[in-house]
């Protein structure tokens, strides 16, 4: 993979920028948008950006920080799920806490926001408490968002419990948008100032990149990623008026800035920020080393998002306007849904064979895998790919009948389908590798599938999809169900 981003520089200058910002206050509440761990979107649109760059950057500041996690009570009640992981927000919170503690970070607590006495939420709070995790409850803030005098009073933020913190930098993170991070930061700043502590606020959000052009593909890829939220990138009018400098932000931050500015001014007694861009500490735009590489990667990401949303529409998870929004973004950068060169071979092979197919690109080579009597297309394409990488002839079998037959027999007995899924095939390969040197060689090359593009002619089931994701394969799927398209079984 050609790199267009300097990750080492990013970690260095980003940590320095945050340290500079929290040096202005006794305490800084830093709202951290996006993923704290495994920022796969950033690594796709900025080749060279390591998916763990954000958390590694915070390692530089580990002794000076602690973390508060927020979760919206309504998201717990609705069992809201992280689409890319298939994990509910409440379980994602537990995962975030566990990962943070494993890396030596101090986790302060979890804040349950917009609490309304939900029974499922009470159960989650008990679960957290029994695991030694402090919890705080925030209800709707009286007067929000227009009555600043009420918001910044004992009836508003003052009605929330004060969270005891001890470090100069407090990260406020969440499993997804709408979790109450900003409200938690502002509530804490109110309480800190009541106690005579000079506390401040800043926002750390990787996208949009404020110092790239408004219509740069990287910023449009962010719009595609948040199409369901109706986010739109805009020129920050406050920044332009104050400094005569063009900066990019997004509509929600721009719309909320006057309210936020008034609240911060009311709490601290002075104006600290004059634009939404002022509040940010994002340095990612200064670490792009090859704009052409980054633009190309971002265009590919927009296409991936298009297929993701067309799948979501088919599954009833989004509305048609979300797909249309991403389609318009493709038009803006002059590409269409066939931009990825794995798409056409998959469709042609499927049409020829009258079977579901997945194609995968390794270097300049396109490998295809079709559904067989015993393998799913994902299983076929991965076997074909690792054989190609390992220079193993097509007629060499990697899976022993002595392993396959009992697995298939058990699946039929359990009424669990007739074909081996990709997780099952990887298990079978690992067993066979103990006695077959060719199989051992092949599975040693699984890591070389990282960052490969793949396209399926159908909506891949969750088991195969999750395993391809774990292999770091960038998968897109046609918005078609298997039964409605193929005459199978």
Residue 328 located in a structural domain: no
Say whether both 262 and 366 belong to one domain.
no
The residue among 248, 267, 287 that closes a domain is 287
Under a CB-based contact definition with an 8 Å cutoff, are residues 46 and 5 in contact? yes
Q: What is the pLDDT of residue 489?
A: 43
Using only C-alpha atoms, what is the Rg of the chain? 25
The residue among 287, 318, 350 that closes a domain is 287
Under a CB-based contact definition with an 8 Å cutoff, are residues 176 and 159 in contact? no
For the stretch 27-74, pLDDT in tens is 999 999 888 888 999 999 999 999 999 999 999 899 999 999 999 999
DSSP for 82-147?
ETTTTEEHHHHHHHHHHHHHHTTPEEEEEEEES----HHHHHHHHHHHHTT--EEE--PPTTTTT-
84 pLDDT band, cuts 50/70/90, is low
Record the tokens describing residue 101, joined without a space: 């503690």
Residue 292 located in a structural domain: no
Residue 363 located in a structural domain: yes
486 has pLDDT over 60 = no
103 has pLDDT over 50 = yes
Residue 451 located in a structural domain: yes
488 has pLDDT over 50 = no
Q: What is the pLDDT of residue 85?
A: 60
Considering the chain, what is the average pLDDT of its residues?
Answer: 94
pTM (two decimals):
0.92
Pairs from 242-248 (Cβ < 8 Å, separation ≥ 24): 242/274, 242/275, 243/274, 243/275, 247/210, 247/211, 247/275, 247/277, 248/208, 248/209, 248/210, 248/211, 248/212, 248/213, 248/214, 248/219
Q: What is the pLDDT of residue 485?
A: 40
pLDDT above 70 covers a percentage of the chain that reads: 98
Say whether both 349 and 421 belong to one domain.
yes
484 has pLDDT over 50 = no
Say whether both 353 and 282 belong to one domain.
no
At 110, which CATH number? 3.10.630.10
3-state secondary structure of 53: helix
Residues with Cβ < 8 Å from 100, sequence gap 6 or more?
36, 67, 107
The residue among 252, 270, 287 that closes a domain is 287
337 pLDDT band, cuts 50/70/90, is very high
Q: Euclidean distance between the first and final Cα of the chain, in Å?
A: 40
pLDDT (mean) for 376-397: 96
Residue 358 located in a structural domain: yes
For the stretch 121-173, pLDDT in tens is 999 999 999 999 999 999 999 999 889 999 999 999 999 999 999 999 999 99
Say whether both 244 and 372 belong to one domain.
no
242 has pLDDT over 90 = yes
DSSP for 313-355?
HHTTSS-HHHHHHHHHHHHHTT--TT-STTHHHHHHHHHHHTS
* φ/ψ bin of 488: left (φ > 0), alpha (ψ from -120 to 50), beta (otherwise): beta
Say whether both 118 and 22 belong to one domain.
yes
- The parent domain of residue 432 ranges over 340-485
Q: What is the pLDDT of residue 416?
A: 83
For the stretch 421-441, pLDDT in tens is 999 999 999 999 999 999 999
d(CA 129, CA 67): 17
Say whether both 25 and 103 belong to one domain.
yes
Q: What is the pLDDT of residue 83?
A: 61
Record the tokens describing residue 485, joined without a space: 């398209």
For the stretch 193-232, pLDDT in tens is 999 999 999 999 999 999 999 999 999 999 999 998 888 9
Say whether both 247 and 364 belong to one domain.
no
Residue 325 located in a structural domain: no
Q: Compare 315 and 489 and report the one with higher pLDDT.
A: 315
Say whether both 196 and 344 belong to one domain.
no
Furthest C-alpha separation in the chain: 77
Residue 309 located in a structural domain: no
Say whether both 237 and 382 belong to one domain.
no
Say whether both 92 and 212 belong to one domain.
yes
At 385, which CATH number? 3.40.140.40
86 pLDDT band, cuts 50/70/90, is low
Q: What is the pLDDT of residue 146?
A: 86
Q: How far is CA 414 from CA 371, 400, 403, 418, in A?
A: 21, 22, 17, 10
75 has pLDDT over 90 = yes
Say whether both 282 and 346 belong to one domain.
no
Q: How far is CA 60 from CA 9, 64, 159, in A?
A: 13, 9, 35
Say whether both 21 and 165 belong to one domain.
yes
177 pLDDT band, cuts 50/70/90, is confident
413 pLDDT band, cuts 50/70/90, is confident
For the stretch 246-262, pLDDT in tens is 999 999 999 999 999 99
Task: Provide the domain count of the chain.
Answer: 2
Residue 334 located in a structural domain: no
């Amino acid at each position: 993979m050609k790199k267009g981003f300097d990750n080492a520089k990013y970690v260095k200058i980003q940590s320095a920028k945050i340290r500079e910002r929290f040096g202005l206050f006794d305490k800084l509440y830093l709202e951290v948008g996006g993923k704290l761990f495994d920022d796969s979107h950033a690594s796709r649109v900025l080749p060279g950006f390591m998916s763990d760059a954000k958390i590694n950057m915070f390692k530089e500041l580990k002794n000076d920080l602690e973390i508060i996690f927020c979760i919206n009570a309504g998201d717990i009640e609705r069992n809201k799920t992280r689409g890319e992981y298939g994990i509910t927000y409440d379980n994602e919170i537990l995962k975030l806490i566990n990962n943070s503690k494993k890396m030596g970070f101090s986790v302060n607590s979890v804040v349950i926001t917009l609490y309304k006495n939900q029974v499922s939420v009470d159960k989650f709070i008990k679960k957290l408490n029994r695991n030694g995790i402090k919890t705080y409850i925030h209800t709707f803030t009286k007067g929000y968002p227009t009555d600043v005098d009420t918001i910044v009073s004992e009836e508003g933020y003052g009605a929330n419990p004060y969270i005891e913190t001890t470090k100069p930098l407090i990260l406020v993170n969440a499993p997804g948008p709408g979790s109450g991070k900003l409200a938690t930061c502002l509530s804490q700043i109110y309480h800190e100032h009541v106690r005579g502590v000079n506390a401040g606020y800043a926002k750390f959000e990787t996208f949009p990149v404020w110092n790239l052009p408004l219509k740069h593909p990287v910023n449009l890829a962010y719009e595609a990623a948040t199409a369901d939220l109706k986010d739109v990138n805009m020129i920050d009018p406050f920044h332009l008026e104050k400094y005569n400098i063009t900066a990019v932000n997004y509509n929600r931050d721009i719309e909320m800035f006057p309210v936020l500015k008034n609240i911060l001014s009311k709490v601290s007694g002075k104006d600290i920020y004059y634009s939404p861009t002022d509040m940010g500490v994002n340095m990612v735009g200064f670490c792009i080393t090859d704009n052409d590489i980054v633009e190309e990667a971002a265009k590919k990401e927009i296409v991936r998002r298009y297929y993701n949303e067309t799948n979501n529409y088919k599954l009833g998870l989004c509305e048609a306007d979300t797909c249309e929004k991403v389609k318009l973004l493709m038009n803006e950068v002059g590409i269409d849904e066939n931009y990825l060169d794995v798409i056409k071979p998959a469709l042609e092979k499927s049409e020829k064979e009258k079977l579901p197919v997945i194609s995968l690109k390794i270097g300049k080579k396109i490998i295809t895998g079709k559904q067989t009597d015993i393998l799913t297309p994902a299983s076929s394409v991965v076997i074909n790919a690792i054989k190609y990488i390992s220079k193993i002839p097509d007629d060499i079998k990697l899976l022993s009948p002595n392993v396959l037959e009992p697995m298939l027999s058990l699946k039929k007995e359990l009424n669990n389908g007739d074909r081996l899924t990709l997780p099952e095939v990887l298990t079978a390969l690992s067993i066979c590798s103990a006695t077959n040197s060719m199989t051992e060689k092949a599975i040693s090359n699984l890591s070389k599938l990282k960052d490969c593009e793949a396209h399926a002619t159908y909506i891949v089931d969750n088991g195969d999809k999750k395993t391809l994701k774990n292999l770091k394969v960038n998968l897109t799927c046609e918005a078609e169900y298997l039964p409605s398209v193929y005459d199978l079984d």
